[in-house]
Amino acid sequence: LVALSEDGCSPISIQQMAYVAGVGFGLMSGAFSMINLLADALGPGIVGIHGDSQLYFLTSAFMTMVLIFLHTFWGILFFHGCEHRRWWEIMAVVVMHLAVSGSTFCNPLYVGSLVPSYLLMAAAAAWAYLLSGGSAQNLWRFLLCK
């Protein structure tokens, strides 16, 4: 972006770029997940008929939602790690990604994949919020509408 700008300055900050990249990856991940889910729904066989859980589609929707949010937070964390040369932050993003992806192997036990993924999402959200300059005091003021 700096090379394309007229004045030699980037039109957006690194934090904004990290957020946009994370949202972009998240939305593309969610789109492909939903397309695959809809392809499963068309048949020829339908999930749930032969003893599978009837909650397959609902669980897949919740898993897609958590992955969209996680990609957003991972983008922020990854960019921060690259910008400040904190390789452990980059590795943490990779490990979290592998953990969430690996937890989907437990999908017949939906609690085994959804609960850890949502807990990891909450931790990644808090971490990304703090790295972006947020504070507990600002969050408290926001929640109290002050």
pLDDT along the chain (146 residues), means of 10: 60 76 87 84 66 77 92 92 92 94 80 90 93 87 86
Instruction: Quote the radius of gyration of the chain (alpha carbons, Å).
Output: 19
> How far apart, in Å, are the Cα atoms of 25 and each of 15, 96, 100, 133?
15, 15, 15, 23
Whether 1 is in a domain gets the answer no
Whether 5 is in a domain gets the answer no
Is pTM beyond 0.85? Reply is no
Count of structural domains, the chain: 1
Domain that holds residue 42: 14-143
Residues shown for the chain: 146
Whether 89 is in a domain gets the answer yes
Alpha-carbon distance 15 to 77, whole Å?
A: 10
